[in-house]
Structure 1
Amino acid sequence: MSTKTRRRRPEARPDEILDAALSVFVEQGFTAARVEDIARRAGLSKGAVYLYFPSKEAMLKALVEQSAGALATAAERLVSVGAPRDPEAALRGVIFMMITAMTDPDISAAPRLVLTEAHRFPDIAAHYRDQVLETARRAIATLAADGVEAGTFRPVDADMLMRCIGGPCLGHMMLASAFDFHPKNLREPVDVADALSDLLLHGLKPREDA
């Protein structure tokens, strides 16, 4: 164990620590998890862990940036490239990206931890808001504006559109991960995303082309 630790590349250690932290947080819960447990899982000393992350909170913030933060940034890039050409396709792409990511336990674990712990750790909640939600807000505002300019969407409040997109995706994640409750007829992320996109775009009223 010690030989492997000495030979490990220093630049790889932050990712190894975060992998270990995520496993321990999921198994024990964020509050109960101890830094020494994370260090043991990573094959490092407790002091070595503190060289990279000063606290459990810092680890969870880094995990947020690594997962949900990266997802929000990718969605913003997708919108910036795709929305001016085809706002509806961009919207469907964002929903597919979110559903696909949220059904991946490694990506959804950090957001689920934040949802559980936000009320006890306001600093973590604020970090999630700044790194994830504000990025998502910009992306959806751009998508809404491009859709209106193209004549594809009617004018709507962008913050409410963000909730209409994010709410069902978060709901799907919680139903699937916490309760193992899946749609009976839609198992693949692309099918779930298409169904959500269709409901968002067309609602429940019969369509004239139906």
Structure 2
Amino acid sequence: MPQAASPKPRARPAPKWRRRAEARPDEILDAALAEFTARGFEAARMEDVAKAAGISKAAIYLYFSSKAALLEALIEAKVGTLAQQMQSLALAGHADPLNAMRMIATMAAHRLSDINLLAVPRLVISISGRFPEIAEYYRTHVVEKARGALEALIDAAKDKGAIRAEVDTQAAARAFIGPILFEALWTHVLKGETALHDPQKLIQQQFDILLNGLEQRA
């Protein structure tokens, strides 16, 4: 009598969902921002961030060596990209610096309407006294890049005669940045009514005041 064939082993069903390795850093950063915002940077623990991201505590250290490194990566991902975009627009806009400045202002106003973007500088400001190295990282990787891009455009506009030669470049850059930052803080921190629903209208008014002033002239 022939021997019956052994039943073939059942194939293990493929998992319905598999985490993509390349997506993990983004997921960790999103989880970190939520934890840092809810608990505060000092109280938040790496294991809590790992749990929120769906990975083990050991696995999170494969991507980020410390909470400080995690916050620096958050700065780069959430705010550093804005500074890089400003640099790119400034480099491409020297032929028409005032138009490039309008493009930067409009882009910044749209980006700052996102409360998650503003959460990072708020966090850095809140811990800057206790973690000066984080404040220094933010200053060199975000603020100085953005300010340098604006100052280069202002100098280019002065060279072309579009802005008066006696205008102080650094003061003009601060006058440019201030209204947009105030609007974001007013809306997201102080919960005031927003003009960011219509960023273009806000920027048009800002440039009218910045370039033409408030004083009535004959």
Give your verdict on TM over 0.5: yes
- Which one of the candidate residues 135, 138, 145 is aligned to 2:145? 135
- Which one of the candidate residues 180, 193, 196 is aligned to 1:182? 193
Map 1:49-68 → 2, pairs under 5 A: 49-68=60-79
- TM-score normalised by the chain length of structure 2: 0.85
**Gaps spanning 5+ residues in structure 2: where?**
1-14
Tell me: CA distance 1:206–1:187, structure 2 relative to 1, closer, same or farther (3 Å): farther
Tell me: CA distance 1:53–1:204, structure 2 relative to 1, closer, same or farther (3 Å): same
CA separation in 1, counterparts of 2:45 and 2:202? Answer: 37
Map 1:1-210 → 2, pairs under 5 A: 7-84=18-95, 86-155=96-165, 156-183=167-194, 187-206=197-216
CA displacement 1:89-142 (0-9 Å, x = unmatched): 112111112111111112222122112222221111111111112211321221
Secondary structure of the equivalent of 2:192?
coil
Tell me: CA distance 1:4–1:174, structure 2 relative to 1, closer, same or farther (3 Å): farther
Query: Is the helix fraction higher in 1 or 2?
Result: 1
CA displacement 1:137-172 (0-9 Å, x = unmatched): 321221012101211011333222221122222211
Secondary structure of the equivalent of 1:51?
coil
For residue 207 of structure 1, report the CA deviation from its aligned partner. 5.5
Tell me: CA distance 1:153–1:4, structure 2 relative to 1, closer, same or farther (3 Å): farther
Deviates more, 1:131-140 or 1:158-167: 158-167
Deviates more, 1:25-34 or 1:49-58: 25-34
Amino acid at match of 1:96: T
CA separation in 1, counterparts of 2:180 and 2:158? Answer: 23
For residue 178 of structure 1, report the CA deviation from its aligned partner. 1.0
CA separation in 1, counterparts of 2:209 and 2:103? Answer: 15
CA displacement 1:29-65 (0-9 Å, x = unmatched): 2222111111111001111111111111111111111
**Gaps spanning 5+ residues in structure 1: where?**
none
Structure number with the bigger relative contact order (C-alpha 8 A, sep ≥ 6) is 1
**Residues 136 and 162 in structure 1, CA contact (< 8 A), matched pair in contact too:** no
Identity of aligned residues (%): 42
**Residues 102 and 173 in structure 1, CA contact (< 8 A), matched pair in contact too:** yes
**Residues 96 and 193 in structure 1, CA contact (< 8 A), matched pair in contact too:** yes
- TM-score normalised by the chain length of structure 1: 0.88
**Residues 83 and 89 in structure 1, CA contact (< 8 A), matched pair in contact too:** no
